[in-house]
Structure 1
């Protein structure tokens, strides 16, 4: 029997997902454990069902490894971000950014400011992960020093980073959505203006209201003054160190790939630790592996700066691998397709189809645990259906971004949420209410789908031809 002839019914396909979510809820909410074992349990159940439905162990194992291979680029970035966090803390770069941030940014406007800064940086470099791993880490330090709750800070950073990533022509997820669906990249970005710009405006208004409660915090406040004094006592603070993140951002903006650009950042951080901070070369190298260590006597500084390095990211790497084994088995045995096909049956109209695409992208985030799959799977599966309903493909590319790219941060076992937890040290269930942009844009997208606003029909002639070289509708 050929693999493509084997089909797993919706009833069987949904069982691993139900068991995994039930086990995840019990483990995280009641026991207070980690999500690894529930994901492994889900993978085992999915494999057993696939065996029952006629798949060989070799086919199941192949799907499992395919899922892991898909996550390898993310794993490499996760490791590199761990190294750069260690290097920048050791080199005093993060301390310098925190110090000057405390001097320049008003507490009442901090949430608005960090959202805008993260948005500009992510727009320039096209990467939410790189933005959160650099500017985001410093932003957490500044906000915590001002007494702002960590979930609020993380939510603002995430909102800004994902706005910039989503609207940047340099973003891999944005290019992927346009390419998979077959629409011009800038047509896709312009169509996202309708949902993403209102989402950013709403987010900034909410952050302005939330920030008003911190207007009584004075920059001469004893806690803030103590933190700034401790930073000066433990690090050499100089504006010259701000050139390091500026150089990395410039390199990525000039379309230097993320890994080489981050490598330059690591090298500059290591050099800063040795020649600016006066550290030993051996200690600087060990910081890249085991992270930075400091005993300042200030609990907040110690918790912020005792981190980084490869070792600090191994929990994240292991969770990413486990999550992708689950998603790999579901996708490559056809279980995910079976679930999506069942959802597709409820889409009787064009409006219903757009809503279905948004929902499917989110469900794929839950089942496959990977943002890119949430873009690729609905983009592939609904392309013909959108043409049949006489809908322009840019409606689909926007739908998978609104429902997939943005919602990935809310699924604790998704690679994006895993990365954020490792980088910003805030759990997805804590920052979720404050990631305003990521919350409201899918809602806006649903409203547009139901009302028909900004839903673009196919041009006269009706058919869509895709230029495979330029990946655009012609």
Structure 2
């Protein structure tokens, strides 16, 4: 008996799960608003995945084993991101209760002028991200501190989060330590230094536009007067023991990053550093978290663990500051982890069924010249971010999809790697159900829909990639060998 070869899904059928997902997510967001991440979005993703499964098995005789294997591969690929996310939750708790983040906020309130706070935040995050190679780590540490300063100064949280994310993703793109930078260059087969140098032609102009917008916004927006910021600073000083010695924790973390240790190792070490600082600098707060009157070995152990994995609430006398210094630890990341797993299930069945491949053929038909090749690559990067919900998968799929086509058209591979980064890397944070969008919304406490319009660098980058391709700046064709 002959085996039946599974049919290739048509683009129209392949678009049905995406349409279902879009409709369900719209309904969920209308019904639950900012609480959509607490369960509604997960059900939407699994429902869309089930539609994909039914169509592929019913119409195209796709075996369940194939779909299951694709789901497992996707979840396996996201395992490190999930561990990093949990460690970020631990860092958020320990860095807050230890006084590290309050110390940075305190000195920030004393030193940063409100009129230039947004542009300064963007530049600070850019520098830190270049040194760390991680937008996630930058946002989870210095970004959280800057978010607190911005709220204390009275800036709209969307503007503050947009400035932080813009700077963090600029540095992530240009850092030799960045996993997305290395992934994009290696997928296409471009030396990493060549890739980084070529990205300067689109990344630097995009950043200059962002800095101009944030400078203008800082001068035009209403913000708190210095006396109000001073009140917040005093409340922090009253609640926490503020000392420059606590800045040793981020300094040691930076040293580990400079030594190129894996992100998971570095984040775990940063949590341990903060736990030690917590016991030394804030013994009363640790005892309060543990529910004890005085600090001893058991209450210290209990307080450190509770700060790492669970919620903490420290009264400061200011309602706004109370919200800032309250943390959720690892437990606060579980909704996001759940959402990532469901997103990986959807991306897996779309890949395993062949529907994702069917949809990508649409992009290939559009490629005629240099501009259309770059436009298709940028469109594919954004499209993959939408339907796979993961920037790493988007980078790999975009690079592999267009690699041979660029070679056939005589286009440099570095143009492909740059176009992939200008879209798949920076736009991932703008999509609410993407792992990047979900993570940053959770870490900063600002909905993706709120901060997305203000992520100027992330919005301008794909447009700048198209503009540079349109004028042909620093783009040359290779001779095609017969």
**TM-score normalised per structure 2:** 0.92
Deviations 1:286-322 (A, max 9, x none): 1111032212231111111111311111111111111
**Is residue 2:67 matched to residue 1:47?**
no
Give the superposition deviation at 1:215: 7.6
Aligned to 2:172: 165
Q: Which runs of 4+ in 1 moved over 3 A?
A: 1-6, 214-218
Contact 1:387 1:463 in 2 (8 A): no
Deviations 1:78-111 (A, max 9, x none): 0000001101011011110100010111111111
- Which stretch shifts more, 157-166 or 210-219? 210-219
Aligned to 1:14: 15
Aligned to 1:324: 344
Deviations 1:201-232 (A, max 9, x none): 0000000000003587432x2x3222112111
**Structure 2: which 5+ runs fail to align?**
288-299
Contact 2:382 2:424 in 1 (8 A): yes
Query: 3-state DSSP class of the match of 1:111?
Result: helix
C-alpha distance in structure 2 between counterparts of 1:162 and 1:123, whole Å? 9
**Is residue 2:257 matched to residue 1:244?**
no
Contact 2:155 2:223 in 1 (8 A): no
C-alpha distance in structure 1 between counterparts of 2:371 and 2:14, whole Å? 27
| Aligned counterpart for 1:131 among listed residues 138, 142, 147 | 138
Give the superposition deviation at 1:22: 1.2
Contact 2:106 2:233 in 1 (8 A): yes
C-alpha distance in structure 2 between counterparts of 1:252 and 1:377, whole Å? 29
Give the superposition deviation at 1:349: 2.1
Give the superposition deviation at 1:29: 3.1
Aligned to 1:268: 273
Contact 1:126 1:168 in 2 (8 A): yes
Query: 3-state DSSP class of the match of 2:71?
Result: helix
**Is residue 2:336 matched to residue 1:335?**
no
Contact 1:122 1:165 in 2 (8 A): yes
Aligned to 1:377: 397
- Which stretch shifts more, 244-253 or 202-211? 244-253
C-alpha distance in structure 1 between counterparts of 2:177 and 2:6, whole Å? 39
- Which stretch shifts more, 189-198 or 284-293? 284-293
Aligned to 1:469: none
Query: 3-state DSSP class of the match of 2:88?
Result: helix
How many correspondences in the alignment?
460
C-alpha distance in structure 2 between counterparts of 1:297 and 1:336, whole Å? 53
Deviations 1:15-42 (A, max 9, x none): 1001101111121135534422211111
Aligned to 1:420: 440
Query: 3-state DSSP class of the match of 2:8?
Result: coil
Query: 3-state DSSP class of the match of 1:345?
Result: helix
Contact 2:371 2:466 in 1 (8 A): no
Aligned to 1:113: 120
RMSD after superposition = 1.7
**Is residue 2:227 matched to residue 1:227?**
no
**TM-score normalised per structure 1:** 0.94
Contact 1:162 1:406 in 2 (8 A): yes
**Structure 1: which 5+ runs fail to align?**
465-474
C-alpha distance in structure 2 between counterparts of 1:167 and 1:14, whole Å? 35
Aligned to 1:23: 24
Deviations 1:250-285 (A, max 9, x none): 211221111111112111111122111113412122
**Is residue 2:310 matched to residue 1:310?**
no
Contact 2:350 2:356 in 1 (8 A): yes
**Is residue 2:179 matched to residue 1:156?**
no
